[in-house]
Amino acid sequence: QCEEWMPGYFNKHNNNAGWCEGDLSRNTPQAFSHFTYAFSKGRCMVVDIQGVEDRYTDPQVHSLDRRFGVGDGGTEGMTLFFRTHRCSPVCVGLGLSPVPEKFSGTQMPVRPRSPSSAAPAVTAFRPSKGVWTSVA
């Protein structure tokens, strides 16, 4: 069965490699990713948020045990999210803590944030190889 058609402008808000859209006029997508981390007590988080307005589709999950497939970046993926995330009024309203201390000051290689006009690449960090690879 297919998803129901979502009329309107389809927008990608973040991806599984730490990219975050440059236009942060919509605070909900980033706050949603942050919320899923807090709600799961740090066991997982939903990223790769895309869709129309606040109707999302085709997400990716980062988990401690990497059980969600090739795009699951585990703790490295969570680190990438928090390296680019800036809490918004939505995060504050939800009572979310700022970036967890275990993610601040990490030495993991991080790709530069893509310009807002550029389409985000579909990539994953491979810790065993220490490189970014395409997962298209």
Summarize the confidence of residues 38-56 as an average pLDDT. 93
Domains along the chain? 10-134 (3.20.200.10)
Share of the chain above pLDDT 90, in %: 53
Q: Check residues 29 and 135 and name the one with the higher pLDDT.
A: 29
What pLDDT is recorded for position 1?
74
Instruction: Give yes or no for residue 70 having a pLDDT over 60.
Output: yes
Summarize the confidence of residues 89-94 as an average pLDDT. 93
Digit-coded pLDDT (tens) for 24-39: 678 899 999 999 999 9
The dihedral built from the CA positions of residue 40, 82, 48 and 34, taken in this order, carries a sign that is positive
Instruction: Give yes or no for residue 41 having a pLDDT over 60.
Output: yes
Instruction: Give yes or no for residue 117 having a pLDDT over 50.
Output: no
What pLDDT is recorded for position 118?
45
Among candidates 42, 40, 8, which has minimal Cα distance to 26? 8
Instruction: Give yes or no for residue 90 having a pLDDT over 80.
Output: yes
121, 115 Cβ separation under 8 angstroms: no
Q: CA 107 to CA 101: how far, in whole Å?
A: 13
